[in-house]
Structure 1
Amino acid sequence: MGHFSEYGQYDAVGLAELVRQGEVPASEICEEAIRRIEQVNPQLNAVVTPMFDIGRKTAGHALPKGPFAGVPFLLKDLLSAFAGVPMSSGAKAYKNFIPDYDSEMVTRYKHAGLVFLGKTNTPEFGVMGVTEPEVFGPCRNPWQTSVTPGGSSGGAAAAVASGMVPMAGGGDGGGSIRIPAAYCGLFGFKPSRGRNPSGPRRGRLWQGAVQEHVLTRTVRDSAAALDVTQGPDRGAPYTICPPSRPYLQEVGTPAGNLRIGFSVTSPVGKTVHPECAKAVHDTAELLEALGHRVEEGLPNVDGKALARSYLIMNLGEVAADLEEMHQILGRKPTAADVEPTTCTMGVLGRVVSAGEFVAAMRCWDQAARQMGIYFEQYDVYMTPTTAYPPAMIGEVQPSPSEKRLMKWVNALELGRILKATGIVHQMAEKMLERTPFTQLANLSGLPAMSVPLHWTPEGLPCGVQFVAGFGREDLLFRLAGQLEIARPWRDKKPMVWAQ
């Protein structure tokens, strides 16, 4: 079989067109993607569960008539249940856990004709902004392998950025699509709450903070993917107005003269790296040149309170995850099953009161109302996607002394004592110091995107985030399409790029 050397020049929509026109067989595209994964994955550790046999079987038979028929694709190893294939959720105890059902997103990906070639690396339970699980080891950034690709969809981002596949699945509960997109020079989009399905076994993922979608190199791939997945499934917890027309049609449609408010101030009161601020200021100048009205404008949201509410949700969700693990394993999880940080979060989650949890949810609702007021004055809110360029591998992991403390806390169930020290407030600010901008959209249910518009002098990508009003994915896709033409990024290649 020939070597399809032009593979890396095509996005997912382009590859699907080749297959549809009969110019390149799906089997040849599949083999080329496998070859590229085998070539660069040893350097990046992005794909942790190969599905090559499944992909070959799909590509070699009659493909569904979907819009992505024959396009290679990778699933995130979290939430994306594929019957018969392990789903670890980044946890040691689940390394060999095999679901017997497909998640609704996977079902829709199958109907779209995608060819599944593997599952990608993710942190344990998806709670970290870096992808360094103990079970599989750290994933590395193709732009510089000593730094993180971000998390929790870090494996997906590294795979797309390095040219393994044109598009990969991710999930975003606090920035987990947008942060890796920013670190890896990709387009990352988080839809509105309820836009994509979460069934059949789940409902309000992370109390409604999580939406699954894809990471891509082009805007049109993201729009076309949302066209095939959007819409409620059976028993959906939310209903949302359907788009008036396909999102793919929004890409290339004039965005009009938008009112854009921006901020480069960290909502948790920490510093912002000059390059991340520069990315926004440079983009503001570009937007003004394109005819938009741009001015500094902060929403009236208490960033520190919102950060604490986000962490309280995380603590509760981890405690519930560990209880679910208890049910699945038939025994209480031990230190051999989960990482120390996860265990400590579970200990703290078990001492957070119902009242505190409800107060955190009310904080989300207040933020959503304030954003509603904000979008009466502005069409779009712009910030850096992250406050810093990507950290070095291991840089944000607990220190040896912190690990020792966590082991004592975990062994003795000292959650109440630890909580009394104010550790929850400290954890919230430390956890979000590098990535404080993305959670607002999750907690208020708004669509948001990271656009790769800036690179540091060291050659590392910096994303710019845009947030729009509820249900206004169409507006973001129009703006993204305009920016993609004005400041193209697609031809920028990282140090590790499959050939």
Structure 2
Amino acid sequence: MSILNREEDGLFYAEQLQNKVISPKELVEQSFQVIEKENPALNAVIHQRKEKALKEAEERDFSGKPFGGIPILVKGLGQSLAGEPHTSGSSLLKNSVAAQTSHFTQALINAGFIVIGQTNVPEFGFKNITEPELYGPSRNPWNTDYSPGGSSGGAAAAVTSGMVPIAGASDGGGSIRIPASFTGLVGLKPTRGRTPIGPGSGRNWQGASISFALTKSIRDTAAMMDVLQTIQPAAAFQTPLFAEGYMNHLHYAPKKTFRIAYSLESPVLSKVSEEAQQAVLKTVEWLRAQGHSVVEKTPEIDGVHLMKSYYVMNSGETTAMMENIESALQRKLTINDMELVTWVLYNAGKTISAAAYSNTLSTWDQAAEVMANFNESFDLFLTPATADSAPKVGTDWQDEAMLERMRNITEVDSTEQQQVVWDMFSESLPITPFGMQANLTGQPSISLPVHLTKDGLPLGVQFTAPKGREEWLLAIGRDMEADGQFI
């Protein structure tokens, strides 16, 4: 009989380990067996550290660690472990090895996790699917014709298929919540500044991106918040610690009646599928039955303008990253060094003015102010997590005319370059338009697995809370989970 059960969460195995029903080595061995069985079809895992992980399972002291002896996979982007590959899903970095361990990965180790490998990502995390040229596409365990999303797509496929109960993930524009919606997981993006960052960087994408995890349960999510919340003096953004503790709050805090606004409208004015709307309306009905106040109301934010500001940042940050890589390689980069989407962002960022970049951050701040005012009337904001279920692997997101514009990105002016950036995402963004706003305002936001489409694919709903109020998201999630609302 297998030790690992794809339905059980991390805390279940933590209890099994604490009671010595199983050993860390047995659990790690079982993870590798599941990877061996499932990964050929899913391509979720791009690197395994078998000998090192098994040695750690035997030799490390896990006493007093909440996740002592639990195997975990970290994301192959930004969650480095010294001496292991550090490719960011890019052929340009295929031989790169991490010189240091990220503070986030170290926090996982400090909590008792055993890092057994890395998960697949799109090149530099730039897509809402996971199909890097370097490693090939990850596939959705619910139906391998479909994508698990991105950029934490490998992580989602790994957790859903039972390779590990929890996987490291990160979210710079929905990259935890999108895969959670597509694969039926719980996906929380914490408040800006909540979890460890660095070393070497005090901000990721100007605060838009944050590391956390993909889980199977609310209690695992709460326990992960307890072990990962931090105050880092060197970090650009800091959030006060939740001293009560998230697990304690789940168990002991009195139930709160929430004021909830919901919207079925895409912030970029694109189509929202009937099934995504059904998922929200079904949730609204349940919320009202529980006594919560729920009204239909959309914040007055220009979503198209906000998303365009995101791409300005994305372009500028890509240029900065690539210039650092050029310096390290001591040569100029060419179109053959990277995927075409990356090439477009890299070149578009070269012509962005300091004023345009500053105005982008001001746009984010203005949106944050709108949401802070909105939260004076509403505790939570409910939307679809994604506008539709997962797309098929290998979907053509750009036609030949668009690809030609992308290849010619260096031949046009800055205004047209930003238009090319917008247009190259014009087919993929409408599937996942709901995630980015919380990245830019800094709010916590969670995808909850509440719906199965007629095609048998998961769809999530998304709740967004005021900054620092992850416990509200967890409370709603706990009640929905306990009442059988999760798929």
The question of a shared fold, defined as TM-score above 0.5 by the shorter chain, is answered with: yes
Deviation string 1:80-114 (CA, Å, 9 cap, x unpaired) is 01000001111101111111111001111111110
Q: CA deviation at 1:461?
A: 0.4
Q: CA deviation at 1:396?
A: 4.6
Q: CA deviation at 1:427?
A: 4.3
Q: Does 1:469 align with 2:450?
A: no
Q: Which is bigger in relative contact order (C-alpha 8 A, separation at least 6)? A: 1
- Structure 2 unaligned regions, length at least 5: none
CA distance in 1, matches of 2:161, 2:418: 44
Q: Does 1:437 align with 2:434?
A: yes
Moved more, 166-175 or 223-232: 223-232
Give the partner amino acid of 1:79.
G
Q: CA deviation at 1:324?
A: 1.8
Q: Which of the numbers 448, 453, 456 marks the counterpart of 1:451?
A: 448
Could you tell me which residue of structure 1 aligns to residue 104 of structure 2? Answer: 105
Q: CA deviation at 1:9?
A: 4.4
CA distance in 2, matches of 1:69, 1:34: 18
**Secondary structure, aligned partner of 1:235:** coil
Asked if the contact 1:54/1:116 (under 8 Å) is kept, the reply is: no
Could you tell me which residue of structure 1 aligns to residue 219 of structure 2? Answer: 220
Could you tell me which residue of structure 2 aligns to residue 92 of structure 1? Answer: 91
Moved more, 398-407 or 232-241: 398-407
Moved more, 423-432 or 452-461: 423-432
Could you tell me which residue of structure 2 aligns to residue 378 of structure 1? Answer: 378
Instruction: Quickly say closer, same or farther: Cα 1:56–1:488, change in 2 above 3 A.
Output: farther
Asked if the contact 1:171/1:213 (under 8 Å) is kept, the reply is: yes
Q: CA deviation at 1:42?
A: 0.4
CA distance in 1, matches of 2:301, 2:171: 21
Q: Does 1:80 align with 2:79?
A: yes
**Secondary structure, aligned partner of 2:46:** strand
Equivalent residue runs for 1:31-430 within 5 Å: 31-65=29-63, 66-252=65-251, 253-409=253-409, 413-416=410-413, 419=416, 422-427=419-424, 429-430=426-427
Moved more, 285-294 or 445-454: 285-294
Instruction: Quickly say closer, same or farther: Cα 1:301–1:44, change in 2 above 3 A.
Output: same
Instruction: Quickly say closer, same or farther: Cα 1:357–1:51, change in 2 above 3 A.
Output: same
Q: CA deviation at 1:420?
A: 6.4
CA distance in 2, matches of 1:421, 1:285: 41
Instruction: Quickly say closer, same or farther: Cα 1:429–1:364, change in 2 above 3 A.
Output: farther
Asked if the contact 2:42/2:144 (under 8 Å) is kept, the reply is: yes
TM-score (norm 2): 0.96
TM-score (norm 1): 0.94
Deviation string 1:257-311 (CA, Å, 9 cap, x unpaired) is 1111000101111110110111000000011111111110111111111111111
Could you tell me which residue of structure 2 aligns to residue 497 of structure 1? Answer: none
CA distance in 2, matches of 1:80, 1:25: 26
Q: Does 1:483 align with 2:480?
A: yes
Identity across the alignment (%): 39
Could you tell me which residue of structure 2 aligns to residue 22 of structure 1? Answer: 20
Give the partner amino acid of 2:268.
V
Moved more, 37-46 or 317-326: 317-326
Give the partner amino acid of 1:470.
K
Instruction: Quickly say closer, same or farther: Cα 1:438–1:420, change in 2 above 3 A.
Output: closer
State how many pairs are aligned.
485
Asked if the contact 1:121/1:139 (under 8 Å) is kept, the reply is: yes
Could you tell me which residue of structure 2 aligns to residue 495 of structure 1? Answer: none
CA distance in 2, matches of 1:427, 1:281: 32
**Secondary structure, aligned partner of 1:189:** strand
Instruction: Quickly say closer, same or farther: Cα 1:9–1:344, change in 2 above 3 A.
Output: closer
Asked if the contact 2:191/2:443 (under 8 Å) is kept, the reply is: yes
Give the partner amino acid of 2:463.
F
Q: CA deviation at 1:233?
A: 2.5
Give the partner amino acid of 1:181.
A
Asked if the contact 1:200/1:234 (under 8 Å) is kept, the reply is: no
Deviation string 1:241-271 (CA, Å, 9 cap, x unpaired) is 1103111123344442111100010111111
Instruction: Quickly say closer, same or farther: Cα 1:283–1:195, change in 2 above 3 A.
Output: same
CA distance in 1, matches of 2:415, 2:341: 14
**Secondary structure, aligned partner of 1:464:** strand
Instruction: Quickly say closer, same or farther: Cα 1:100–1:320, change in 2 above 3 A.
Output: same
Asked if the contact 1:75/1:118 (under 8 Å) is kept, the reply is: yes
Deviation string 1:45-78 (CA, Å, 9 cap, x unpaired) is 0000112222111111133331101111000000
Asked if the contact 1:301/1:367 (under 8 Å) is kept, the reply is: yes
Q: CA deviation at 1:398?
A: 2.9
Asked if the contact 2:66/2:111 (under 8 Å) is kept, the reply is: yes
CA distance in 2, matches of 1:271, 1:321: 34
Instruction: Quickly say closer, same or farther: Cα 1:290–1:99, change in 2 above 3 A.
Output: same
CA distance in 1, matches of 2:380, 2:231: 26
CA distance in 1, matches of 2:302, 2:202: 28
Asked if the contact 1:255/1:482 (under 8 Å) is kept, the reply is: no
Q: CA deviation at 1:346?
A: 0.9
Deviation string 1:477-499 (CA, Å, 9 cap, x unpaired) is 1111111111253xx6xxxxxxx
- Structure 1 unaligned regions, length at least 5: 493-499
Give the partner amino acid of 2:304.
K
CA distance in 1, matches of 2:19, 2:269: 54
CA distance in 1, matches of 2:430, 2:466: 25
Q: CA deviation at 1:325?
A: 1.6
